A and B are shown apart, each in its own frame.
Chain A
Amino acid sequence: MAGIELKNIKKSFGDKNQVEVIKNIDLDIKDGEFVVFVGPSGCGKSTLLRLIAGLETPTAGQVFIGGKDVTNHSPLERGIAMVFQSYALYPHMNVYDNMAFALKLASRPKEEIDVAVRAAAKTLNIDHLLNRKPKELSGGQRQRVAIGRAIVRKPEVFLFDEPLSNLDAALRVKMRYEFARLGETLGKTIIYVTHDQIEAMTLADKIVVLNNGYISQYGAPLELYKRPENIFVAGFIGSPKMNSIKAKVINTNAKEAQILINNHSEITIKINSDLRIGDDVTVGIRPEHLFISENKGLLDAKLQFVEELGHAKYAYFETADDKDSEVKITLQLAPEFNAKIGKNHSLSFDLSHIHVFNKDGKNVTLF
């Protein structure tokens, strides 16, 4: 049993702790969950992982692994294994010795080490590479060795720090699938850090979206996609990102609000929080929930660019909001739609998929 609990974790760097990277984080990860930390560069996701690994000491707060307070324990005492972004293989050792290193340090019997290394190598399909040095391996093979080095120790928790970011696109997709399979095979608690939201969506049981040292939202991938709690999560999860259109509240009661979009279209949505007349809000709508309307729609926009991906087609429109600022709108087109660049279109959207964010960025839509 090795769930992970973080209580009021803070981490600052600098001589006088002037750079606050992690700002009071509470998190509860259940045993056996595959959790992905995702967020933009500098949001603190890798620092949070290193705090769990014991490679950094928190400025405040506690780390619990398997119910035990490990805040001041060394990485070894935490029962974790970590795979680094650069793989961090030992260049002077061959694959076998790289994988056996931790067990040798623990003075385990030679036979046991041999069985463990060969079994892990077979699982990862690298048993034919055991005598090679890291420099003689490809990126994908190095990645497997790094994972193998983690597996042989049979830890309770696996930590992966952007393990696919150094691989090319094709290999990344392949390894992503292998990671998903590995997660199921191991059945251990896994924390995986990435800035790629597709990796997060495809691998995770739960996603932690971090922004500026805080957790923006923690939940299942589809929950984050369908019900983002704030405008940051709405924009970060989903590709292409959710469209954001500035709007104004023109009428409201406790349960509903009337919103004016683009100075001429009114929509009514159910809300779960107080809005006041005159409030500036942001309307969010995903590209797949927008469509080109034959009649007068909610927005008029000019087609600027079409992205043909084969399986999908994305159109990029430009319009103006109520302050006459330029707004870019992305829309998923039907594959057979014949788009003409420069043409004006009227756009509509499915009101059941709309999100309204108040001026603080909080999602106030009632789902």
Chain B
Amino acid sequence: MEKLKSLFFNLIVWLLVFLVAFPLLWMVTTSFMHSGEAASFPPPLLPKSPTLNAYHELFAGNHIEVYFFNSVILAVCATILSLSFNVMAGYAFAKLRFKGRDAMFNSLLSALIIPAQVGMMPLFLLLKTFGLVNTYAGALVPWIASVFGIFMVRQFSQSIPDEMIEAARVDGANEFQIFTKLIIPNLTPILVTLGLFTFLGSWNDFMWPLIILTDNQSYTLPVALAVLSREHVQDSELMMAGAVITVLPVLLLFLVLQRYYMRGLLAGSVKG
């Protein structure tokens, strides 16, 4: 009976894995097909004779490397900015004593219920006033600090014992040294998790770069792909090659950092 139960659950899991992985696998195989091959009936699962034509066209004809580079720059900068501000704020909310701390944090938390899209128009108008439209600085503004990031860091920071911070104060460390030499190393799992979330968010973000970046040379990959799909609506192979270029880096990043990321996600549940 136990064996049957286990077999049943394994089957369910494999079915779910297949459902999730199939579109991704088909995306990869299609990207290696000749032009028009994916549109034939019945649609082939594997390329008859694999080719890099689609990738060649992406790089040579559509300069996808420019958009790839733009995305990398923006995602890396967004990650650095987000980590710097969120970690400092989250730590301060968790461990430093200042007037109005809890009230301020609660008001920040209540802002979580406002959808990001609602803030886009006022933010755009604000950045327009500052002359930041069509600049990378403008594209990075929403990533500087996030309530969710601050909340995550705060929750994790609370598990750091006060006595450790006080021991460092007795040892002669100033607040900056405590933060850099003790807090940051002990927050590694949550830094990786937050960094990964931010990188993924910025990398996949479509709406804000579309609004703020008007020059097509500064487009990010998702925006460039959308434009490309309008121009080459029938060329599934080219689209899939573009999708592979978009998905692959973040997939690799996720796999490399998976160990830390999982520790960060689980931390809140197992730490006192």
A residues contacting B by CB (< 8 A) are: 53-55, 74-76, 80-82, 84-86, 88-92, 101-102, 105-106, 149, 153
Contacts and interface: CB of A to CB of B under 8 A. Distances in A.
B163 A85 contact: yes
A92 B191 CA distance: 15
Contacts of B172: 75-76, 102, 105-106
A65 to B, nearest CB: 13
Contacts of B182: 90, 92
Contacts of A106: 172
B161 A81 contact: no
A55 B169 contact: yes
Given A53-B170, A74-B169, A106-B172, A90 B163 contact: no
B185 A92 contact: yes
A128 to B, nearest CB: 24
Nearest to A53: B170
A106 B174 CA distance: 11
A89 B170 CA distance: 12
13 contacts: A53-B170, A82-B166, A84-B163, A84-B166, A85-B163, A88-B163, A88-B166, A88-B167, A89-B167, A90-B182, A92-B186, A105-B171, A149-B167
B177 A55 contact: no
Interface string B183-197: 001100000000000
A91 B186 contact: yes
Contacts of A81: 170
Contact of B170 (A55, A85, A90, A92): A55
B227 interface: no
Contacts of B171: 76, 101-102, 105, 149, 153
Interface of B: 161, 163-164, 166-173, 177, 182, 185-186
A223 B99 CA distance: 46
A76 B161 contact: no
B177 A76 contact: no
Q: Which of B164, B169, B172 has the most CB of A within 10 A?
A: B172
Nearest 3 A-B pairs (CB), nearest first?
A102-B171, A88-B167, A88-B163
A83 to B, nearest CB: 9
A82 B185 contact: no
Given A84-B166, A86-B161, 8 more contacts: A55-B166, A76-B171, A88-B161, A88-B163, A102-B171, A102-B172, A106-B172, A153-B171
Contacts of A102: 171-172
A78 to B, nearest CB: 9
Contacts of A91: 164, 186
A88 B182 CA distance: 12
A92 B164 CA distance: 12
A80 B164 CA distance: 16
B254 to A, nearest CB: 25
A92 B188 CA distance: 10
A8 B172 CA distance: 27
Nearest to B184: A92
A82 B172 CA distance: 12
B170 A105 contact: no
A75 B163 contact: no
A88 B165 CA distance: 8
A92 B168 CA distance: 13
B161 to A, nearest CB: 6
Q: Which of B163, B170, B185 has the most CB of A within 10 A?
A: B170
B152 to A, nearest CB: 20
Contacts of B166: 55, 82, 84, 88
A88 B164 contact: yes
B91 to A, nearest CB: 16
A13 B173 CA distance: 25
Nearest to A106: B172
B166 to A, nearest CB: 5
Nearest to A50: B166
Given A92-B186, A105-B177, A80 B163 contact: no
Contacts of A80: 170
Contacts of B163: 84-86, 88
Q: Which of B167, B172, B182, B185 has the most CB of A within 10 A?
A: B167
Contacts of B169: 55, 74-76
A82 B170 contact: yes
A55 B164 CA distance: 12
A203 B129 CA distance: 71
Contacts of B167: 82, 84, 88-90, 149
Contact of A76 (B170, B185, B186): B170
Contacts of A88: 161, 163-164, 166-167
Nearest to A76: B172
Contacts of B164: 88-91
A74 B172 CA distance: 9
Q: Which of A54, A101, A106, A153 has the most CB of B within 10 A?
A: A101
Nearest to B173: A105
Contacts of B161: 86, 88
A143 B168 CA distance: 16
A242 B84 CA distance: 60
B157 to A, nearest CB: 14
A74 B168 CA distance: 12
B192 to A, nearest CB: 15
Nearest to B167: A88
B169 to A, nearest CB: 5
A74 B170 CA distance: 8
B126 to A, nearest CB: 36
Contacts of B173: 101, 105
A120 B186 CA distance: 26
A293 B136 CA distance: 95
B188 to A, nearest CB: 8
A228 to B, nearest CB: 33
